[in-house]
Amino acid sequence: MKHKYPNLCKPITIAGVTFQNRMFSAPMGGTDITNDGCIGPKSTAFYELRARGGAGAVTVSECMVHPDTDGSHAYHLDTKILNSLAAAAYTADAIRRHGSIASLELSHSGMYAGTYMTDKSKKQSMAQWGPSDTVRPDGIEVKSLTKEMIKDIVDAYGNVASLAKRAGFEMLLIHGGHGWLLNQFFSPYFNKRKDEYGGSLENRCRLAIEVLQSVRKAVGEKFPIEFRFSGSELFDGGYDLDEGIEIAKQISPYVYLLHVSAGTYQRGFGDTHPSMFKEHGCNVYLAEAIKKHVSVPVSTIGALNSPEQMEEIIASGKADIVYMARALLADHELPRKVMENRDEEIV
């Protein structure tokens, strides 16, 4: 079949894994996370629906790697939890059976641990850990992680990565954006450390690189590792695009795909999730700028749902992959309709 949008429909091979097209399902949280952090059957069905709709990859979000310092009510992958590994395996298989690649997002909320909790009293009582001692805008005290705790978190990333691979996930997305822990270390706004994890850009990138090395050691060389980060924090005091480019240059040797998003949890979340009042693809310029400075493929995200626009992004070399979330909530079959030249049927 001759595709109307040939660049969107073109397969891409990353670290030996071939994806059927360039339209990926972005990380979206589950709908029935169990009390102990397992992926419930409704969530499995949710992710499978995006795979059945033809997405090249479907990312399951978010798996918190270190419950001791980040007990957020999200997914946890832990052999001490009954059904944890089995639930993950069911989900990976449900995605893969439709030809999509199953990816799992590994994350740590840092000073925003407990963000997703519905039990506000428990949320308020949790200890919050970040790069530096501070007080959050909501009055919650944040304590600085010790080097021993940092090493434990780095090791936890590797441990959870090995379990994810064992469960059948064929790609991992390491979340380093949006104000979560790795972003907090990148950011001069959050990171006031005086040791080897603070100060210079090289030092502020150290934790993310150690995490990526830990994950790589756990999964092996021929396994796609994707790193998600904000190309710019988009607020005064945070890092800008110029420094985002330098962060990308530091990180890219350790990954096979750079996922360029925007903004941060404390400020600029309206750019992370652009509203209907913003221009579609308003964050693409960040990926376009960063792609000029790295040798690995780059993905972009943010208010993308037009096949014409997404085709132009790939064709012009602004990015290699486009991610969608809300577009696939509106129509999970969007990628399949594009592949079958039925774009006029897209919801």
Per-residue pLDDT tens over the stretch 56-68: 999 999 999 998 8
- If one counts every other C-beta atom within 10 angstroms of the C-beta of residue 341, the result is 14
Please check whether residue 157 lies inside any domain of the structure.
yes
Instruction: Flag whether pLDDT at 122 surpasses 80.
Output: no
Q: Average the pLDDT over each of 116-125, 186-195, 290-299 and give the range with the smallest value.
A: 116-125
Q: Containing domain of residue 198, as a range?
A: 6-345
Please check whether residue 328 lies inside any domain of the structure.
yes
Query: Average per-residue pLDDT in the chain?
Result: 94
Cis, peptide link before residue 308, omega less than 30° from 0: no
Please check whether residue 1 lies inside any domain of the structure.
no
Please check whether residue 209 lies inside any domain of the structure.
yes
Is pLDDT larger for residue 205 or for residue 35? 205
Could you tell me the end-to-end alpha-carbon distance of the chain, in angstroms, rounded to an integer? 23
Distance CA 148, CA 110 (A): 15
CATH code, domain with 158:
3.20.20.70
Distance CA 169, CA 94 (A): 11
User: Tens digits of per-residue pLDDT, 200-220?
Assistant: 999 999 999 999 999 999 999
Please check whether residue 321 lies inside any domain of the structure.
yes
Cis, peptide link before residue 62, omega less than 30° from 0: yes
Give the total number of structural domains in the chain: 1
- Say which residues have a Cβ less than 8 Å from residue 120's Cβ, sequence separation at least 6: none
